[in-house]
Structure 1
Amino acid sequence: MTSRTGSAGGPGTPSGCLAMFPGQGSQRPGMAGHLLDTHPAARGLFARADEILDLPLSRICATGDAGELGRTEITQPAIATTGLAVWEVLREAGYRPAATAGHSLGEYPALVAAGVLSLESALQLVRLRGRLMGEVAREVPGAMAAVLGLPADKVLAACEGAEGAGLVQVANYNEPLQTVISGHAGAVQEAGRAALDAGADRVVPLDVSAPFHCSLMRAVEEEFTEALAARPFADPVLPVISSVTGTYVRSGEEARELLRRQLTGPVRWVEVLRTSERHPVNAYTEIGPGRVLSGLARRTLGDVRVRSTGDARRLSAFVGALEPGRQPAPAAS
């Protein structure tokens, strides 16, 4: 399952590997401390990010507390920068994936990795995105919840049945039996009750500051669209699977339009993973903090090779597996 040569990767890169960048919710205090302590490539990336945003992301991602890191306008550039710092470490070690994808916010570092966006453009767009989403959160009593153990079509029906309580829509198709809903707080609660009545195992309220990926975000769409129009988008040099459509991004202009649609549309992660199977992809690497996407890949695709890189041990093991002449270690998610 590995390739020492060829277009799919450099020495030790798993053949047909999908590079997956996580989104909001994967952050944790200290998530980049090991990167900054150990890897010059990561320190260089963070230094550039600090300068671009005039924000002490290096400090926040190494020693900031949960309260500071949990502010949406900070969370989003922090996660994107941490993912790109890991990407730089892996790329320097010879990692060459067959394709890339990002879950919601993660689509921005995925587009940087694919040559569509510059680091500067991606970080400035992400910071604006976080600020605008935070504004919606302060003005609208919104909520999100994960519905577990119920097929997506029944979750959609529960949302439609709760329309009398306000707006509630599907925000994330994360895995076949995990679907996230978003909207007005009362409507999300009503849809959650309907989902439990329809056979859901659990409905878990999410600790987020805004109702992401629903029509309530339309209030900030115009300003964000103007910001997207002001940034250059190049055609991908590496295949990118969009979380908006679940299919490949064909051009820079399409990538720009998809980021606009991403504000109010659902994340189609199940379709991303199904598309990756047809690439073909037979290995998955989560690039950045946390192990959320590793779990989604396993539960959606079954017995597949998955690696995460969210801590010093896992990252070191994967970098070691990329060295010429080394046999890759067993997957450690």
Structure 2
Amino acid sequence: MKAYVFPGQGAQFIGMGKDLYDQSPLAKSLFDQANSILGFNITDIMFHGTDEQLKETKVTQPAIFLHSVILAKVLGDDFKPEMVAGHSLGELSALVANGVLNFEDGLKLVSKRALAMQKACEAEPSTMAAILGLDDAIVEEACAAIDGVVVAANYNCPGQLVISGSVSAIDEACEVLTEKGARRALKLPVGGAFHSPLMEPARAELAAAIEATTFGVPSCPIYQNVTASAVTDPAEIKKNLIAQLTAPVRWTQTMNQMIADGCSEVVEVGPGKVLQGLFKKIDRKFPTASAALEA
């Protein structure tokens, strides 16, 4: 079975999507529609902007979503997913790709999500850190013992877990985990504590927008971050998407479950090759590829 996976924040680069815009009339029309929906020319930043402009959450999230979703649409009949998943923000790209959300509703939700997260970041100084080379259980235990908000946020692959929380609690966790033998405890250049209780104001804001949006029946199962299992019921998909902002991204568990359910090949749709790299950490020989427009 072929799975299509969609990347999250961090995969962006200047020039992303320009080849699609130049080569495909459908892509051009969708990018132009996106500029109109967002109320600013995101294509100018994506194609010709600076890294600083592209790094702003309100730009980054819609930019990655647009690159992923428009690429999937341009692939046309070649795009036949039997299962989909997306890492964090990528879950919304996956939901457009498998027909649960239409393009316009998906983009509006991504934009609302980005702005709500930005606001939550500004409300309280918070951050994230990557912990490499320790078992998940050791990291979870250490976080639970620290006074303050610090939780496991992204289970990326075996031996790579990202923690999220207040700045002081993250600093303390990094010290403790280094003492416990972490190969690295590296603070990340992010503006806030994504996938932690500190995102509660953003979750509440986004919940209203998600509840007001029509979710259709998917063309294939989506493996959601919150459950790491195949979901096809639109009401359940909604509930999991709302929970996602304050819950961990269970990507390690998702990859294992997809493979257990018969996934034999993964195609990454969107910028970069981060997710392919994570599948290779599970099995070095696992077949992966990047989706690409035929020249």
Among 119, 136, 144, which residue is 1:152 paired with?
A: 136
> Is 1:102 paired with 2:111?
no
Among 17, 20, 34, which residue is 1:35 paired with?
A: 20
Among 262, 265, 275, which residue is 1:283 paired with?
A: 265
The SS at the match of 2:190 is coil
Q: Following the alignment from structure 1 to structure 2, what is the Cα–Cα distance between the partners of residues 308 and 149?
A: 27
State the Cα distance separating 1:35 from its structure 2 match: 1.9
Q: Following the alignment from structure 1 to structure 2, what is the Cα–Cα distance between the partners of residues 295 and 129?
A: 26
Q: Where does residue 279 of structure 2 map in the other structure?
A: 297
The SS at the match of 1:193 is helix
The SS at the match of 1:61 is helix
Q: Following the alignment from structure 1 to structure 2, what is the Cα–Cα distance between the partners of residues 283 and 55?
A: 37
Q: Is the 8 A contact 1:148 1:200 kept in 2?
A: yes
Q: How many residues align?
A: 295
Deviation digits for residues 116-161 of structure 1 (CA, Å, limit 9, x no counterpart)? 1111111111111110111111111101011111111111112112
Q: Which segments of 5 or more consecutive residues in structure 1 lack a partner in the other structure?
A: 1-15, 310-314, 321-333
> Is 1:218 paired with 2:212?
no
What is the TM-score with the length of structure 2 in the denominator? Answer: 0.96
Kindly name which structure, 1 or 2, has the bigger radius of gyration based on alpha carbons: 1
Q: Is the 8 A contact 1:30 1:61 kept in 2?
A: yes
Between the aligned residues of both structures, percent identity stands at 37
Among 53, 58, 70, which residue is 2:38 paired with?
A: 53
Q: Where does residue 167 of structure 2 map in the other structure?
A: 185
Among 65, 87, 100, which residue is 1:116 paired with?
A: 100
Q: Following the alignment from structure 1 to structure 2, what is the Cα–Cα distance between the partners of residues 103 and 247?
A: 13
Q: Where does residue 70 of structure 2 map in the other structure?
A: 85
Root mean square deviation, CA, Å? 1.4
Q: Is the 8 A contact 1:158 1:192 kept in 2?
A: no
Q: Is the 8 A contact 1:17 1:282 kept in 2?
A: yes
> Is 1:260 paired with 2:245?
no
Letter of the 2:230 partner, please give it. Answer: Y
Q: Following the alignment from structure 2 to structure 1, what is the Cα–Cα distance between the partners of residues 3 and 21?
A: 25
Deviation digits for residues 181-208 of structure 1 (CA, Å, limit 9, x no counterpart)? 0000111111111111111101121111
What is the TM-score with the length of structure 1 in the denominator? Answer: 0.85
Q: Which segments of 5 or more consecutive residues in structure 2 lack a partner in the other structure?
A: none
Letter of the 1:175 partner, please give it. Answer: C
The SS at the match of 1:104 is coil
Q: Following the alignment from structure 2 to structure 1, what is the Cα–Cα distance between the partners of residues 107 and 87?
A: 16
Following TM superposition, the consecutive aligned residue runs of length 4 or more in structure 1 with deviations greater than 3 angstroms are none
State the Cα distance separating 1:29 from its structure 2 match: 1.4
